[in-house]
Protein backbone atom coordinates (compact mmCIF):
# COMPACT_ATOMS: atom_id res chain seq x y z
CA UNK A 1 0.00 0.00 0.00
CA UNK A 2 1.43 3.32 -0.99
CA UNK A 3 0.96 6.39 1.15
CA UNK A 4 -0.62 9.52 -0.24
CA UNK A 5 -0.97 13.14 0.84
CA UNK A 6 -4.68 13.19 1.67
CA UNK A 7 -4.03 13.51 5.40
CA UNK A 8 -1.49 16.30 4.85
CA UNK A 9 -3.93 18.30 2.69
CA UNK A 10 -6.81 17.65 5.11
CA UNK A 11 -4.80 18.77 8.12
CA UNK A 12 -3.51 21.87 6.31
CA UNK A 13 -7.17 22.91 5.99
CA UNK A 14 -7.73 22.10 9.70
CA UNK A 15 -10.37 19.51 8.80
CA UNK A 16 -11.07 16.40 10.84
CA UNK A 17 -11.68 13.08 9.10
CA UNK A 18 -15.37 13.44 9.97
CA UNK A 19 -15.52 16.91 8.41
CA UNK A 20 -13.83 15.73 5.21
CA UNK A 21 -16.16 12.73 5.10
CA UNK A 22 -19.22 14.94 5.47
CA UNK A 23 -17.96 17.46 2.90
CA UNK A 24 -17.12 14.72 0.38
CA UNK A 25 -20.19 12.55 0.96
CA UNK A 26 -18.03 9.60 2.00
CA UNK A 27 -17.80 7.67 5.24
CA UNK A 28 -15.10 8.32 7.84
CA UNK A 29 -14.05 4.69 7.35
CA UNK A 30 -13.43 5.40 3.65
CA UNK A 31 -11.38 8.50 4.49
CA UNK A 32 -9.38 6.44 7.00
CA UNK A 33 -8.71 3.74 4.40
CA UNK A 34 -7.68 6.25 1.73
CA UNK A 35 -5.32 8.03 4.12
CA UNK A 36 -3.79 4.66 5.00
CA UNK A 37 -2.96 4.16 1.32
CA UNK A 38 -5.59 1.55 0.49
CA UNK A 39 -6.80 1.56 -3.13
CA UNK A 40 -10.01 3.41 -3.89
CA UNK A 41 -12.28 4.14 -6.83
CA UNK A 42 -11.74 7.12 -9.12
CA UNK A 43 -15.06 8.56 -7.99
CA UNK A 44 -13.83 8.50 -4.38
CA UNK A 45 -10.68 10.37 -5.39
CA UNK A 46 -12.76 12.94 -7.27
CA UNK A 47 -15.01 13.51 -4.26
CA UNK A 48 -12.01 13.97 -1.96
CA UNK A 49 -10.31 16.41 -4.35
CA UNK A 50 -13.44 18.52 -4.67
CA UNK A 51 -14.01 18.46 -0.89
CA UNK A 52 -10.44 19.72 -0.42
CA UNK A 53 -11.19 22.56 -2.90
CA UNK A 54 -8.63 21.20 -5.35
CA UNK A 55 -8.84 20.78 -9.11
CA UNK A 56 -9.05 17.30 -10.56
CA UNK A 57 -5.77 18.02 -12.34
CA UNK A 58 -4.06 18.11 -8.92
CA UNK A 59 -4.78 14.42 -8.30
CA UNK A 60 -1.11 13.42 -8.57
CA UNK A 61 -0.15 15.93 -5.86
CA UNK A 62 -2.66 14.34 -3.49
CA UNK A 63 -2.72 10.67 -4.49
CA UNK A 64 0.68 10.27 -6.14
CA UNK A 65 1.28 9.02 -9.66
CA UNK A 66 -1.25 6.60 -11.11
CA UNK A 67 -0.60 3.15 -9.64
CA UNK A 68 -1.08 1.41 -13.00
CA UNK A 69 1.49 3.67 -14.65
CA UNK A 70 3.90 3.20 -11.75
CA UNK A 71 3.82 -0.59 -12.20
CA UNK A 72 4.35 -0.49 -15.96
CA UNK A 73 0.80 -1.46 -16.90
CA UNK A 74 -0.22 -0.60 -20.45
CA UNK A 75 -1.95 2.71 -20.90
CA UNK A 76 -5.66 2.81 -21.60
CA UNK A 77 -6.37 2.19 -25.24
CA UNK A 78 -3.18 0.22 -25.86
CA UNK A 79 -2.80 -3.48 -26.09
CA UNK A 80 -0.21 -5.11 -23.88
CA UNK A 81 0.94 -7.28 -26.79
CA UNK A 82 3.98 -6.70 -28.97
Domain residues of the chain, as ranges?
6-64
Q: What whole-number distance in Å separates Cα of residue 61 and Cα of residue 68?
A: 16
Q: What whole-number distance in Å separates Cα of residue 47 and Cα of residue 21?
A: 9
Q: What whole-number distance in Å separates Cα of residue 6 and Cα of residue 28?
A: 13
What class is the 6-64 domain?
mainly alpha
At a CB cut-off of 8 Å and minimum separation 6, what does 67 contact?
Answer: 2, 39
pTM value is: 0.78
**The pLDDT of residue 79 is above 60:** no
**The pLDDT of residue 51 is above 80:** yes
Identify the band that residue 65 occupies on the pLDDT scale cut at 50, 70 and 90. confident
pLDDT tens for each residue of 1-50: 567 999 999 999 999 999 999 999 999 999 999 999 999 999 999 999 99
Amino acid sequence: MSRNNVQRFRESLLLSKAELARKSGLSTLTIDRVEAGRPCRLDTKRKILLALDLAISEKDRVFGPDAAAAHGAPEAGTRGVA
